[in-house]
Structure 1
Amino acid sequence: MTHKPFDDEQLEHVLNNAPKLSDRRSKEEILNRLMADARLQDNSHLQEAIQQPIENEEAQQESKPLIQDEQPSRFKFRKMSIFTSIAAVFALTVLVGSMVMNNNTSQKDLASTPETANYSTLQEDRSAKEAATQDEALQSSIVAEHERMLSLRSSVYEEDVKDAVVFRIGLAGRDAESVPMTYVIPNERVATDFGTQKPSTLQMYEKYAPQIDEEAKGFTDYHPFKGELKEKDDKLVHVLPKDNNYDVASATVNEYKGTLEDTFSDSEYTEVEIQNEDGTPYEFSQEGEPSQAMSLTNAKHFNYYLYQDGNGAEYLSPDFRQTFANVTEALTLMKNKNDDVYVTVVPENVTYTVKEEAEGVVVTFDIPLDLASMEPIRATQLIEAMMLTAASFDQQLRLDNVVQESWEGFDLKTYLPKPVGPNKQYMP
């Protein structure tokens, strides 16, 4: 059976659930209405149904004498019953036909509605959308792969700050040492916090340093600095209170100065003056003389090791802030194990030579270095620690005699980019 708007089951359902009709008109009125209906005048079945009782009655009248009081009423009753039945059938036929027509009309109306038109358009564009979905899936796969490659990187690069600013801060480690952190803050957040005015480094420090949960990250609760920080021309002045924890021992003094350097170097300030509340230079008990202004412009040349905080997280950091005269020395001595706090990133069986060229510094491994033979995170830490070491001398790094031509998004066939800063972080 072909599919139709109403099949037998649907029609039966409609008839069974059709509203119960009631008609208070008299039978004579119904008969007169039917006889006057032009649609029934040429209906042979109706005319036959009307004529048949009349002919039957006439035959009976000829063969049987009439009972004067009974025969006319019986004929009238039978005639009215027939017409009543015909009227009911006709009404029901009109009702069902109307419902079918309404259903067809509704379907046509539905097909012409904006929603259905949109559906039709969507049907036509389905193949195009499926193709677009496949393209999006491919792009997502590429992005996911890119993110996976970048996931092992720990430093900040120029590509990370295209729509963001950098906030640097030194966090105090468990060994009374400053560990440099580089926070990437989106421009939108800075604009929300400071409006259209570009904030100074001190303003950013006062805004964002208190938001860092240092203890949760495995560091000492150190920031913001005790006392008062204020700007004086192109200098920064730190007024220390009489009672402070920065002057307890030589290690705490080094930690304090290290955190100042990691926080305010590469800023608009040229130096930091450390003063008493009366404006005189502060004298550290471990030094025995008034402190001199601490320069923020003289670049410190470090090499980078691996530091682990109290929670087990690993960071790349200078080894107790030891400085070097040249990049060759700094890179060569990265192989040495100097203490139990900082761990070298260079595996014991890996040896190399360092050469300075006009474009940058070149590290050539004595035996082809197969990065895939190392744990991926260790291989990435090795590359980035060397990159950070070269960057502290404002130089780019190239690695020669490496089996792989690329690693974690780094193109090892050429000079690698200079990191903006170590240990990428995001504000909570």
Structure 2
Amino acid sequence: MTHKPFDDEQLEHVLNNAPKLSDHRSKEDILNRLMADTRLQDNIHLQEAIQQPVEDEQTQQQSNSLKQEERSTESKFRKIPFFMSVAAVFALTILVGSMVMNNQAEQKDQASTAETATYSTLQEDRATKDASAKDEVLQSNIVTEHERILSLRSSVYEEDVKDAVVFRIGLAGRDAESVPMTYVIPNERVATDFGTEKPSTLQMYEKYAPQIDEEAKGFTDYHPYKGELKEKEDKLVHVLPKDNDYDVASATVNEYKGTLEDTFSDSEYTEVEIQNEDGTPYEFSQDGEPSQAMSLTGAKHYNYYLYKDPNGAEYLSPDFRQTFANVTEALTQMKNKNDDVYVPVVPENVTYTVKEEADGVVITFDIPLDLTSLEPIRATQLIEAMMLTAASFDQQLRLDNVVQESWEGFDLKNYLPKPVGPNKQYMP
């Protein structure tokens, strides 16, 4: 460590304030102490002092010489206190300076230690914050990626309902057609709303249907139904008021029945009876005869198309509920454009063959399908519409001759999972 040197004023101040020294020891005592000090054995002055000749009383000349040497030695020893004083002052100066510098060095070291400790603490805090920030960024990226996948995968799968229940409902489109929606409701919310008792499908409908803002989604304000819904054993009964909007035309009747089917199929009810207020079967004006109970258990074999609402939102839905005899027919005809409401999800230049196997149905593309050649959302809609079509026949789907081995979480090397329902939604 570099220290600032003393200047003349500081040195003079130290010397002036040094203690006054005095020495009352005899010369013999000083000489004996010096002779006993091993560090001074090589000192020339000490050697001269101790090498005085033995007094020879017989020779006067030697005596005179001895006296002369004694006087010389005495003179030399008289100088010792002066030299020792100067040496002491010099030593004291060095000692005081050393103490001052050591004290300053110690203070600097303490300050440096404190600064180092503070810096170290700041560095540790900064490292902790940096690590935490990196973890947050990583978690944020994982969440963002997961949300991105979910935003493209519009259907509901088993993984989505591990801690939730499904509430199905058919929303009335502005083209007088029902569009199936699948709401995912967490178990905690259901428990809060209904307690420990498992609610029936009708109870869930009466609770959650009024909470859906249909018009905000681009649909008609349709739910809850007019009239009275009630349970009758394993059946559902809908008592229609005398004046209602469900029997205006054939399109509105189809829309009404479509919403009932999308809402109450896959439930505990086997069928729905439509009655007048007096309990008799309702007679739709287009039929000219009392209505028969509508089955809710029969499998509905559909293929899926793209439906766009006036707000621009897109949903996967059956094309006016057209049914098919087998899955091969349903998948093959997905390329056909039948009307101006529903848009095929299969591009015109994409061709394929369909084969039914023991484990499911296999679609093989005639030319290797590069999903990146499509917009990501279009590629995902193509896959999910085919999956939903196969699922309506209770079949799994596999896609062969696709360039990619995976897409948006789908393992394209194996059979794809059967969707629980189309158009995943969450309750407000």
1:111-165: CA deviation from partner (whole Å, max 9, x where unpaired): 9xxxxxxx99998787577556544543432332222222211111111111111
1:347-372: CA deviation from partner (whole Å, max 9, x where unpaired): 00000000011111111100000110
- For this pair of structures, how many residues does the alignment match? 322
Paired amino acid for 1:346: V
Q: For 2:328, what is the secondary structure of its paired residue?
A: helix
Paired residues of 1:165 and 1:185 also in contact (CA < 8 A): yes
Paired amino acid for 1:144: T
TM-score, normalised via structure 2 length: 0.70
Match of 1:74 in 2: none
Take 1:352 and 1:179, find their aligned partners in 2: how far apart are those partners? 27
Match of 2:335 in 1: 335
Match of 2:322 in 1: 322
Q: How large is the Cα RMSD of the aligned pairs?
A: 2.7
Match of 2:228 in 1: 228
Match of 2:347 in 1: 347
Paired amino acid for 1:364: T
Match of 2:267 in 1: 267
Match of 1:401 in 2: 401
Q: For 2:215, what is the secondary structure of its paired residue?
A: coil
**Which structure 1 residue ranges, 4+ long, deviate > 4 Å from structure 2?**
119-133
Take 1:125 and 1:214, find their aligned partners in 2: how far apart are those partners? 51
Paired amino acid for 1:214: E
Take 2:339 and 2:275, find their aligned partners in 1: how far apart are those partners? 34
Question: Aligned-pair distance for 1:214?
Answer: 0.9
Take 1:375 and 1:232, find their aligned partners in 2: how far apart are those partners? 49
1:190-247: CA deviation from partner (whole Å, max 9, x where unpaired): 1111111111100010011111111111111111111100001111000111111111
Take 1:122 and 1:166, find their aligned partners in 2: how far apart are those partners? 51
Question: Aligned-pair distance for 1:427?
Answer: 1.0
Paired residues of 1:146 and 1:409 also in contact (CA < 8 A): no
Take 2:319 and 2:252, find their aligned partners in 1: how far apart are those partners? 16
Take 2:154 and 2:362, find their aligned partners in 1: how far apart are those partners? 22
Match of 2:28 in 1: none
Take 1:406 and 1:290, find their aligned partners in 2: how far apart are those partners? 52
Match of 1:19 in 2: none
Take 1:302 and 1:198, find their aligned partners in 2: how far apart are those partners? 31
Take 1:422 and 1:281, find their aligned partners in 2: how far apart are those partners? 32
Paired amino acid for 1:311: N
Take 1:297 and 1:120, find their aligned partners in 2: how far apart are those partners? 71
1:210 paired to 2:210 = yes
Q: For 1:383, what is the secondary structure of its paired residue?
A: helix
Take 1:171 and 1:409, find their aligned partners in 2: how far apart are those partners? 28
Q: For 1:216, what is the secondary structure of its paired residue?
A: helix
Question: Aligned-pair distance for 1:289?
Answer: 1.1
TM-score, normalised via structure 1 length: 0.70
Match of 1:32 in 2: none
Q: For 2:143, what is the secondary structure of its paired residue?
A: helix
Take 1:209 and 1:239, find their aligned partners in 2: how far apart are those partners? 18
